[in-house]
Amino acid sequence: MNIKKFSNEQLAGQRLMVGFDGTKLTKDLTVLIDTLKVGGVILFSNNVSSPEQIKQLCVSIQEYAGSCGQPPLFIAVDQEGGEVARLKDPFTEFPGNPSMHHIKDAEKFATVTAKELSDVGINMNMAPVMDVVPEGAESIMAGRVFGSDPAFVSKMGACVIKHLQQNGIIAVAKHFPGIGRTTLDSHLELPILTAERSELESFDYLPFSAAVKEGVLGIMLSHILYSKIDLEWPASLSVHVAKYLLRDHFGFKGLVITDDLDMGAITKNFNFNSVIHQILLADIDIALICHKGPNIKAAFKKVLDYIEESDEMKDKCKASVERIMEVKTKPHLI
């Protein structure tokens, strides 16, 4: 689809990936697609009951989008294995990243997971976790990382990315620029990381550099405030992190995605209109809003307002939607 023909509403909606209630194409879900024109949805445990049901849900979503003249949707899930796996038996239940010790473990996880996701119509996995937990640290991420050696995390994560994407699933490396050092849970509070840039460069950044080199199609930003990079905004809202560091320094040209904007790190600390403004300023492509509620409609309206009021913001939005559509038009992915 040629984005020159996109309406302002389509430009705004493509920037949103949202959660919803239910296991089938409900009225609420059709409104998200035909009125708010969302670019993607994310599935959670309450949206799934069986492979057959998931496939029917995904097919109905894509067919309805097509009937409305909308591009195909990203249909995402968190399927890391271990602690974070939305799809259970009869899907293969892997023990998670800490249990992977050899490159063949990563290859098997990615290959099997990609096939199972593709078979039911899911096209994006919010994985792999590329965070590194320092040896002995009491990190909130201890049960979800490949380990404490950046080189090992880089190798394992790059393997997962390669085999997910070779088998038709968009990989999303997370949580840039690294949350392995944090102890607070950003679902509840805003963690502040005071590590020096030199520490981050020699440790936390390395797996994300490997992910970019591997050609990862998506990178998720963390809800962590890195005080030596940006004193005001967490990574998920920061021009310094998303634009200057990830886009300009790392050279990443793919999709930049926020973590869930419904998390306490954001809702307890920032005005929602300011949140959307920062996302647009920072060249972040997709605002992730995982729960049904007023924030989805508010985000759509705010993005639309900025598009209609500012040529600069409209141009930024077009650039983001071009990146989104570049991924959506890769024939083996969607």
Q: What is the pLDDT of residues 298-310, one digit of tens each?
A: 999 999 999 999 9
Looking up tokens 């995982």, which residue turns up?
Answer: 290
E strand spans, 89-146? 124-125
Q: How far is CA 32 from CA 18, 19, 219, 275, in A?
A: 9, 10, 24, 20
Where are the chain's structural domains? Answer: 14-328
Looking up tokens 């141009």, which residue turns up?
Answer: 315
Inform me whether the pLDDT recorded for 334 exceeds 70.
no
Q: Which of 1, 170, 169 is nearest to 70 (CA)?
A: 1
* Mean of pLDDT values over 134-141: 91
- The catalytic position among 28, 101, 119, 187 is 187
Q: How far is CA 84 from CA 125, 126, 143, in A?
A: 12, 10, 10
What does the CA dihedral 138, 102, 214, 72 come to, rounded to 10 degrees?
A: -80
pTM for this one? 0.97
Which pLDDT value is given to residue 3? 87
Which pLDDT value is given to residue 25? 97
Dihedral (CA of 277, 295, 297, 219) sign: positive
- The catalytic position among 78, 105, 259, 285 is 259
Question: Residue 144: which pLDDT band, with cuts at 50, 70 and 90?
Answer: very high
E strand spans, the chain? 16-18, 40-43, 74-77, 79-81, 84-85, 124-125, 170-176, 192-193, 218-221, 225-226, 255-257, 287-289
Inform me whether the pLDDT recorded for 1 exceeds 80.
no
119 is catalytic: no
Q: Which residues of 239-264 are buried (b: 16+ CB within 10 A; e: fewer)?
A: bbbbbbbbbeebebebbbbbbbbbbe
Which pLDDT value is given to residue 40? 98
Which pLDDT value is given to residue 330? 82
Tokens standing for residue 191: 């963690």
Q: Which amino acid is at 44?
A: F
* Mean of pLDDT values over 312-326: 95
How does pLDDT run across 113-132, given as a tens digit for each residue? 999 999 999 999 999 999 99
Question: Residue 93: which pLDDT band, with cuts at 50, 70 and 90?
Answer: very high
Options 3.10.450.50, 3.90.1300.10, 3.40.50.720, 3.20.20.300; CATH of 14-328: 3.20.20.300
187 is catalytic: yes
Q: Which of 230, 245, 233, 123 is nearest to 176 (CA)?
A: 245
- What CA–CA distance (Å, rounded) separates 147 from 36? 41
How does pLDDT run across 233-264, given as a tens digit for each residue? 999 999 999 999 999 999 999 999 999 999 99
Cβ partners under 8 Å of residue 265, min gap 6: 186, 187, 188, 189, 190, 191, 223, 224, 234
Which 3 state secondary structure label does DSSP give 176? Answer: strand
Question: Is the Cβ–Cβ distance between 42 and 84 less than 8 Å?
Answer: no
Q: Which amino acid is at 97?
A: N
- What CA–CA distance (Å, rounded) separates 47 from 66? 21
Least confident of 20-29, 152-161, 178-187: 178-187
Looking up tokens 């039911």, which residue turns up?
Answer: 120
How does pLDDT run across 208-236, given as a tens digit for each residue? 999 999 999 999 999 999 999 999 999 99
Cβ atoms within 10 A of the Cβ of 220, count? 23
Task: Give strand pairing partners of 170.
Answer: 124
Tokens standing for residue 11: 């430009």
